[in-house]
Structure formats: C-alpha cells, structure tokens
Amino acid sequence: MHKERVLVTGGGGYIGSVLVRMLLREGYRVRILDRFIFGIEPIADILNDPNLDVVIGDIRNVEDVKKSLKKVDHVVHLAAIVGDPACSVQADVAVETNFLSTIRLARLARDNGIKKFIFASTCSVYGASGDKIIDEKSPTNPVSLYAETKLDAEKELLALLDKKPSLTILRFGTAYGLSPRMRFDLVINYLTKKALIDKEIKIFGGEQWRPFVHVHDISRAIKVVVEADDDIVKGEIFNVGATKENYRMKEIGDIIKGIIPGTNVEIVKQIQDKRSYNVSFMKIESKLGFKNEKTVKDGIVEIKDAIENSIIEDPDDDRYYNHKRG
C-alpha cells in the first residue's frame, strides 16, 4: 500500500517535532525541511526511522525547497520566524521567511502537483479585539509584525492557490505544552517555569483574553486536515483550539497558583502586549469533528513535572527561547 509523503517545513521545531512523530506513528512517510538552528536533538531519536528523511536547509533557499518537494503528496508549512520578540529582533528576515518564502514555496508546490498545502497561521491576526467572541469571518486587526506577516501570507495564498493544491489555513491559538524542541518563551510555559523557580509571576493587565491550545492538539488538527476530504477543507480557514480554553490572563495566574502552591501572583496594570481576543472554535468542531484532548491545567502539570524531575534541567537555557537565536 502506498504511504503518502508529507513535507513538514520546520519539522524540527516546537510544533513540527511533535507532528512528525504523530505522522510517523500513523504510517505516513515524512520529509523534514529545517535549518535546525536549535540543534538536531529534537528529532535525534527518530532519525533512523525508515519512513523519515531529512533535508537540512533553509526555506529561503530555492534549491533546498525544490529538493524537499520531490515525490511529496502534502505540504505542512510550519517554518517561520515565530513570535513577536523573534520577529522584532530580525524584521527583514521575518518578512522574507514568513511571507516571501511562503509564497515561493506555494508556487513551487503548485507546480509540483502537491495535493494539499496546509499553512500554519495564528489567532494573533485578530489582534486587539476586546471581549467580543470572534470567529473566522471576524475582522482581523494585527498589532505585531509577526501577525502581519502571517495575515499577508494568508491573503496571497488564497489568491494563488485558488484551484490547486487544496489550501487550508489553520489559525492556532496560543501554544503551550511539552515538546521535544521545548520553548519557554510561550506564556503558559514561561509562567509555569517562573512559578516553580522564582515562586512569583507577573501578569501584565490581566483582563485581556487569550485562546490556548496544546502543541499535541495543534498536531492532531493538522493531521485531521491532511486526512479530510478536499471538499471540506479546500480554501478554508479554521481557528484551532477549544472555545472553553479561552482565558483572561489573570485566570491563568490563578490556575498556576492552584497547581503550584506558594506562588505569588502580581498583577501589573501596565500592559506591554495589547492583544486580546476571545475566539470561537465552533467551525473546526462542527466541520471536522475536532475537539481538544488537553487543557491548560494539563500543560501546567506536565511542565511542572518535567522541571521537578529534571527531564528539563535548565529551562533558562538560550535554546528554549526563539528570540535568542536566529
């Protein structure tokens, strides 16, 4: 039986290293295109899997991309300069990677007869949206370069891939949870680490809304789209998360305090990050039957256990922070 091959750009990253393992377990052949600027360690234990091949290369390099697309059925495009701090540090590279290279990849994928092109976007495109519940049809209002590059890429992809391949845009909620390529510059992961080590955390503002989604569930959603009928996902945008996992940031402080007793939670009125979005995830649930398997509480507990049991020995190491390496 033919096993479909999925190209995962950024397959050695925070989401990619979880997704690649999931696809391999399900019998897919997987190809990774990644620079591995944080090292090869996140996939070291699966390098000998006969269904995996790895291209160490750059999404910005045309020859690397062409090599990666050979004999591929589907593309999952995760590779990006991710997060506001990382994009601020290297704005030109962020635009080149997140927008220009994405469009070139899509053109080459179209020319190579790829069946599906799945683009990793973000709920950050909704920006400062206040308290009202927003869905995929709501106005976008990005307030960061990262969100702007993702939204610009979305618009261009929808125009470019109007016929083939089948394009699906996934707007992820704020990611958290354990990954082989761990990150502590994500708010849940960071605050859990701070509570454990420093016994105190600061919440800026506190009233702003965020939708949270575990990296495991992000990977599940991608796999669901890979396996879905084209007529359900072609040309569609899906928010990825669960409506009940929208929280005000002050609630996150309370949850962490409940799981890590003795944590001092300081609410700072000054808001550094103006984003606030309370997102509906009814579309992905109703059209694809997708529901989260993990909650914010689950993520906090697993990170707490990993640090306490020295599975992660030094959570302050630079390799866990996207903006500290480029």
Q: How far apart are CA 209 and CA 128, in angstroms?
A: 9
pLDDT of residue 205: 87
Cβ pair 240, 170 in contact under 8 A: yes
Task: Say how far apart CA 246 and CA 243 lie, in whole Å.
Answer: 6
pLDDT score at 238: 98
What pLDDT is attached to residue 206? 87
How much is the pLDDT for 1?
41
Would you state the structure tokens that stand for residue 46, as one six-digit string? 């699966």
Give dist(CA 33, CA 318) in Å, integer: 23
Please say whether the beta carbons of 170 and 118 come within 8 A: yes
The β-bridge partners of 132 are none
Predicted confidence at residue 2, as pLDDT, reads: 54
Q: What is the pLDDT of residue 276?
A: 84
Which residues have a Cβ under 8 Å from the Cβ of 224 and sit 6 or more positions away? Answer: 288, 289, 290
Can you name the residues that pair with 117 across neighbouring β-strands? 75, 167
Q: What is the pLDDT of residue 219?
A: 98
Rounded CA separation 14/211 (Å) = 18
Mean pLDDT by 10 residues, the chain (326 residues): 86 97 97 94 96 97 97 97 83 93 97 96 88 92 92 96 94 97 95 95 90 98 97 97 95 96 90 82 97 97 95 86 66
**Amino acid identity of 323?**
H
Q: What is the pLDDT at residue 270?
A: 78
DSSP result, 232-301: HHTTEEEEES-GGGEEEHHHHHHHHHHHSTT-EEEEES--S---EEEE--HHHHHHH----S--HHHHHH
All structural domains of the chain, each given as residue ranges with its CATH number in brackets, are 5-175+212-240 (3.40.50.720), 185-211+245-275+296-324 (3.90.25.10)
Give the pLDDT score at 297: 97
| Strands annotated E in the chain | 5-9, 29-34, 52-56, 74-77, 116-122, 128-134, 166-172, 174-176, 200-204, 209-214, 236-240, 246-248, 264-268, 276-279
Query: What token pair was written down for 53?
Result: 């091949």
CB atoms within 10 A of CB 313: 8
> How are beta strands 209-214 and 246-248 bridged, if at all?
antiparallel
Q: Phi, psi (5° rounding) for residue 229?
A: -65, 140
Euclidean distance between CA atoms 212 and 218, whole angstroms: 10
Q: How far is CA 160 from CA 106, 107, 157, 203, in A?
A: 8, 8, 5, 41
What is the distance between the alpha carbons of residues 230 and 226, in angstroms, rounded to a whole number? 9
